[in-house]
């Protein structure tokens, strides 16, 4: 076992929140009550794509360790 289920769940939640913040920062007019710290984010939308590639690279290294 590489990590416990709660640890994996927290990591996935954190990544999901990062993706959502980048998305909302790019399209703030689609959402209401967007916090200022998200609108004023220093990260460009291109980080969305780069982050997804980094996650894919991390996960592909563990593909052979998956046990069903």
Helix count and strand count (H, E) for the chain: 3, 0
pTM of the model: 0.57
Query: pLDDT tens digits, residue range 9-38?
Result: 888 888 888 888 888 888 888 888 888 887
29, 9 Cβ separation under 8 angstroms: no
Supply the mean pLDDT for the chain: 78
What residue numbers bound the domain in which 18 lies? Answer: 5-65
Query: pLDDT tens digits, residue range 34-61?
Result: 888 877 877 777 777 787 787 777 777 6
The number of domains in the chain is 1
């Amino acid at each position: 076992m590489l990590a416990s289920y709660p640890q994996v769940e927290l990591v996935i939640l954190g990544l999901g929140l990062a993706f959502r913040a980048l998305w909302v920062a790019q399209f703030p007019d689609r959402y209401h009550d967007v916090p200022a710290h998200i609108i004023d984010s220093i990260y460009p939308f291109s980080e969305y794509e780069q982050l997804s590639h980094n996650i894919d690279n991390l996960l592909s290294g563990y593909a052979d360790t998956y046990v069903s």
